[in-house]
């Protein structure tokens, strides 16, 4: 499941308020060249948005983000999400994902959390919020103790087109994600052609690495 994220090198993260917008955003991402996305569990419309994309656009690999509880994880699975992500490491959520055999990317920010994730068998980890943690210099400081373990990071939190190249050049970075690919103002204004343009430019940038 995570091969699509690694292949794309990009994971758009979007917070949606209705199912209609969900389909338009997903179509814009596909038009721009990305077939994987994260919908965050931050609104009451999230489950229905995931369900709509899973039903209408099966070519889109859809993940549920900001999973903070077992109930949210269950709701994500039932709606049709194919994988999940969290901003931090919650043992109960990770254990429930393993119980369901549901592909999951837990969030980490410290060496202790990285080692905890390794003890659960997770090697693709969401490093969040990467920019506030120190960005590329922080990732370099983690290479010595952890690169040999096979850990790779999905970096999120402060990533955009201005620093995308520097993150993707790191051998420990598998992919970069964020909302810069799906700006909320473009969603509100139904400017999905502009969104596709942003996505296309970011895809081109990522392919150059």
Q: Just list the catalytic residues.
A: 38, 126
CA distance 207 to 54: 27
Judge contact between 206 and 175, C-beta under 8 A.
Answer: no
How many residues can be counted in the chain? 209
- R_g of the chain, CA atoms, integer Å: 16
Angle formed at CA 71 by CA 131 and CA 64, multiple of 5 degrees: 40
Here the tokens at position 174 are 């598998």
Other C-beta atoms closer than 10 Å to the C-beta of 195 total: 24
| Alpha helices for 35-163 (secondary structure H) | 46-56, 70-79, 91-100, 111-119, 130-133, 135-146
Judge contact between 10 and 174, C-beta under 8 A.
Answer: no
CA distance 188 to 186: 5
DSSP 8-state code for residue 110? S
CA distance 195 to 201: 10
């Amino acid at each position: 499941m995570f091969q699509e994220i690694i292949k794309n090198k990009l994971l758009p993260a979007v917070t949606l308020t209705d199912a209609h917008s969900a389909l338009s955003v997903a179509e814009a991402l596909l038009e721009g060249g990305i077939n994987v996305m994260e919908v965050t569990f931050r609104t009451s419309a999230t489950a229905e948005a995931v369900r709509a994309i899973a039903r209408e656009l099966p070519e889109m690999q859809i993940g549920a983000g900001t999973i903070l509880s077992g109930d949210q994880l269950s709701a994500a699975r039932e709606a049709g999400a194919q994988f999940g992500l969290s901003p931090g490491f919650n043992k109960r959520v990770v254990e429930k994902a393993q119980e369901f055999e549901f592909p999951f990317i837990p969030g980490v920010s410290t060496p202790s959390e990285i080692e905890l994730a390794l003890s659960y068998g997770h090697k693709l980890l969401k490093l969040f919020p990467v920019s506030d943690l120190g960005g590329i210099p922080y990732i370099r400081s983690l290479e010595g103790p952890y690169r040999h373990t096979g850990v790779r990071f999905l970096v999120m939190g402060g990533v955009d087109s201005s620093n995308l190249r520097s993150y993707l050049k790191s051998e420990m970075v598998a992919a970069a994600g964020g909302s810069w690919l799906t700006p909320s103002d473009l969603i509100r204004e139904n400017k999905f052609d502009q969104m596709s343009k942003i996505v296309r430019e970011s895809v081109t940038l990522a392919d150059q690495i």
